[in-house]
Amino acid sequence: MADTEEEDSRKGSEKMRLLIIEDDVELSEAVAVSLKAEGYQVDLCHSGADAAYYYEKNIYDAVLLDRMLPEKDGIEILNDMRTDGYEVPVIMITALGNVDDRIGGLDAGADDYLAKPFSVSELQARLRALFRRPRKMENAGNHSLGNTTLSMGRLQLESRQGCVTLSKKEAAFLEFFFRHPGQILQREQILVRVWGTDKFVEDGNVDTYIHFVRRRLSAVGSNLVIKNVHGVGYRLEELQAKRE
């Protein structure tokens, strides 16, 4: 039973992408190795000044944020994230572990707080708990927008007019758009989110999958369209019904 639970936990983390913002290079790399072994995809940032470059990609499922960073501290970064509308869950990690420090981090918008030194197993448990919480766009892996529903569990796209089965890559591709309706998604964002940073993928793959998922949307009579934003990327929009 324990082996089965461990396998289920690992499968649940396979699509999760984490950002670690931590200036202790040795610590962050060690944590990243452990998290990758559990199936997470992990990116590292070692400077507060560079944090925005990463989180503004809007591709992360959670951020592990050190409070004490060079150039810009964790509280400032977190305030900027929340002010700019980034709602990604944040676990603040720091050597400052007294009550006032924890309250300050939580009041700034952190979802959880972990004091150094910590065990990676505790961090993993906190991540699992974080991902069990309800999220705005997700309901047991289902995403609904317009007249269309995407089921990640069944790999299906459906509307009142029909239903089609998707490949895992098509489903991951569409999920990224469903989670960010109306937003311009840059080609680099899509490549990193769907294929990851550790793999070499030709830029043309984005165009290929745009073609695939447009056909899927059309096949089910969806009122959603993926529009080109010239020189920037793509945007998922809902077509408004024509008035008689």
The strand pair at 224-229 and 233-238 is best described as: antiparallel
* Topology adopted by domain 2-132: Rossmann fold (3.40.50)
Distance in Å from the first CA to the final CA of the chain: 60
Helix, strand or coil for residue 24?
A: coil
For the domain with range 142-238, which CATH number is right: 2.60.120.380, 1.20.120.330, 1.10.10.10, 3.40.50.280? 1.10.10.10
User: For residue 98, what pLDDT is reported?
Assistant: 63
User: For residue 134, what pLDDT is reported?
Assistant: 55
Could you check whether 2-132 and 142-238 share the same CATH topology?
no
For the chain, the domains span 2-132, 142-238
Which amino acid makes up residue 219?
Answer: A
User: For residue 14, what pLDDT is reported?
Assistant: 55
Q: Which of 124, 132, 123, 150 is nearest to 217 (CA)?
A: 150
Question: Could you tell me where the beta strands, DSSP code E, fall in 122-173?
Answer: 142-145, 148-151, 156-159, 162-165
User: For residue 240, what pLDDT is reported?
Assistant: 74
Q: Is residue 244 over pLDDT 60?
A: no
Question: What are the Cα distances from residue 202, in Å, to 144, 187, 212?
Answer: 30, 11, 16
Q: Is residue 196 over pLDDT 90?
A: no
User: For residue 9, what pLDDT is reported?
Assistant: 47
pLDDT in tens, 124-149: 998 988 887 655 444 446 888 999 99
